[in-house]
């Protein structure tokens, strides 16, 4: 397989669940040897896309291919390792038994001891999976995705519920596995995680692909901050604020609600300096990270800026 071979392809894929349009004309190609991060907030469509390209569901429209074949065909899936978001492990089986069970489906699996050691589970081999902590279960799920030495690994939010140490252990394992020549597709809510792992990032929101680029290029695009301030509802201050906001090159969107002005700006410092320099009488200044979705929706112009409700602030999303 050459490095340009597509291992996973979605072309103009649409998928509905009742009235919900989960994917709206999505196209994505992942080539052999890539480590791709699929980033997006809850409901963006990431899991749905993975379910189509791994053959768990069918698209309503469009085509999907896995290793050039139909993802629903077991022959296409034999080189795929998958960790779904929810992992139903048989609670009464021991960790080592589950590893053996899964390994038995592959022609050249990793030795049990090696894979357990790799994921920090060597001393859990004789424990029943039902007795594992949430984090240990998560690590075991990823270990099971890799035990058959798949050429493509698809991981849906693999680090959910892991503490910092376990997350870093998992990132290191994925980087190492990728370095051995595998292709990796990993979803996350967190830019920090994708930044640590991926070379290329695909950002989804509202069922569409909002950006697909090298991580550095995407990071440069999401350095957007939300600046909020109040001005007198009418009169000179409001006009001045509008003028200043309109003049600044880094402003990607703005909204006025009564006396409150909300601006999405790539350079919040410059915006505030300009407001002060122009003598705009503002009060109640707030500067905080915009959510990725806000930033991308604003940048792509696909929806009026700053209209979504404030994102739930998290350490990783607030930038």
Ligand X SMILES: Nc1ncnc2c1ncn2[C@@H]1O[C@H](COP(=O)(O)OP(=O)(O)OP(=O)(O)O)[C@@H](O)[C@H]1O
Residue ranges binding ligand X (CB under 6 A): 17, 20, 22, 40, 42-48, 85, 189
Dihedral sign from CA coordinates of 184, 190, 195, 196? negative
Task: Provide the minimum distance between the beta carbon of 56 and ligand X in the complex, in angstroms, as a whole number.
Answer: 11
Q: Using the minimum distance from each CB to ligand X, give the nearer residue, 45 or 228.
A: 45
Instruction: Give the angle 31-180-194 at the CA atoms, nearest 5°.
Output: 60
CA pair distance 283, 95, nearest whole angstrom: 59
Q: Using the minimum distance from each CB to ligand X, give the nearer residue, 33 or 40.
A: 40
Task: Provide the minimum distance between the beta carbon of 184 and ligand X in the complex, in angstroms, as a whole number.
Answer: 17
Task: Provide the minimum distance between the beta carbon of 279 and ligand X in the complex, in angstroms, as a whole number.
Answer: 45
102-125 exposure pattern, b = at least 16 Cβ within 10 A, e = fewer: bbeeeeebbebeebbebbbbeebb
Task: Provide the minimum distance between the beta carbon of 205 and ligand X in the complex, in angstroms, as a whole number.
Answer: 9
Q: Using the minimum distance from each CB to ligand X, give the nearer residue, 50 or 237.
A: 50
| 222: Cα within 13 Å, side-chain hemisphere | 30
Phi and psi torsions of 25, nearest 5°: 60, 55
CA pair distance 110, 119, nearest whole angstrom: 13
| Kind plus residue range of the DSSP H or E element containing 8 | strand 6-17
Q: Using the minimum distance from each CB to ligand X, give the nearer residue, 148 or 205.
A: 205
Task: Provide the minimum distance between the beta carbon of 18 and ligand X in the complex, in angstroms, as a whole number.
Answer: 6
Q: Using the minimum distance from each CB to ligand X, give the nearer residue, 30 or 251.
A: 30
């Amino acid at each position: 397989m050459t490095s340009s071979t597509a291992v996973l392809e979605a072309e103009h894929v649409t998928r509905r669940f009742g009235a919900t349009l989960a994917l709206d004309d999505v196209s994505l190609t992942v080539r052999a040897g890539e480590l791709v991060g699929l980033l997006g907030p809850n409901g963006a469509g990431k899991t749905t896309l993975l379910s189509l390209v791994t053959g768990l569901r069918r698209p309503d429209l469009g085509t999907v291919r896995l290793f050039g074949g139909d993802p629903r065909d077991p022959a296409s899936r034999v080189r795929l390792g998958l960790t779904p978001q929810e992992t139903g492990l048989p609670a009464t089986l021991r960790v080592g038994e589950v590893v053996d069970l899964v390994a038995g489906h592959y022609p050249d699996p990793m030795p049990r001891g090696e894979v357990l050691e790799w994921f920090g589970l060597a001393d859990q081999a004789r424990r029943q999976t039902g007795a594992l902590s949430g984090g240990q279960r998560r690590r075991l799920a990823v270990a099971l995705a890799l035990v058959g030495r798949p050429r493509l690994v698809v991981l849906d939010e693999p680090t959910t519920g892991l503490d910092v140490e376990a997350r870093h252990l998992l990132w290191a394992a994925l980087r190492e596995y990728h370095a051995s020549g595998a292709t990796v597709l990993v979803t996350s809510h967190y830019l920090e995680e994708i930044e640590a792992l991926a070379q290329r990032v695909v950002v989804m929101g509202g069922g569409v692909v909002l950006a697909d680029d090298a991580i550095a290029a995407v990071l440069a695009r999401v350095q957007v901050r939300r600046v909020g301030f109040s001005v007198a509802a009418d009169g000179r201050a409001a006009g001045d604020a509008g003028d200043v906001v309109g003049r600044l090159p880094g402003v990607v969107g703005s909204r006025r609600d009564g006396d409150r002005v909300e601006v999405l700006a790539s350079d919040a410092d410059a915006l505030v300096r300009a407001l002060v320099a122009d003598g705009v009488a503002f009060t109640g200044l707030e500067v905080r990270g915009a959510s990725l979705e806000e930033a991308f929706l604003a940048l792509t112009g696909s929806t009026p800026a700053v209209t979504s409700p404030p994102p739930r602030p998290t350490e990783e999303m607030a930038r």
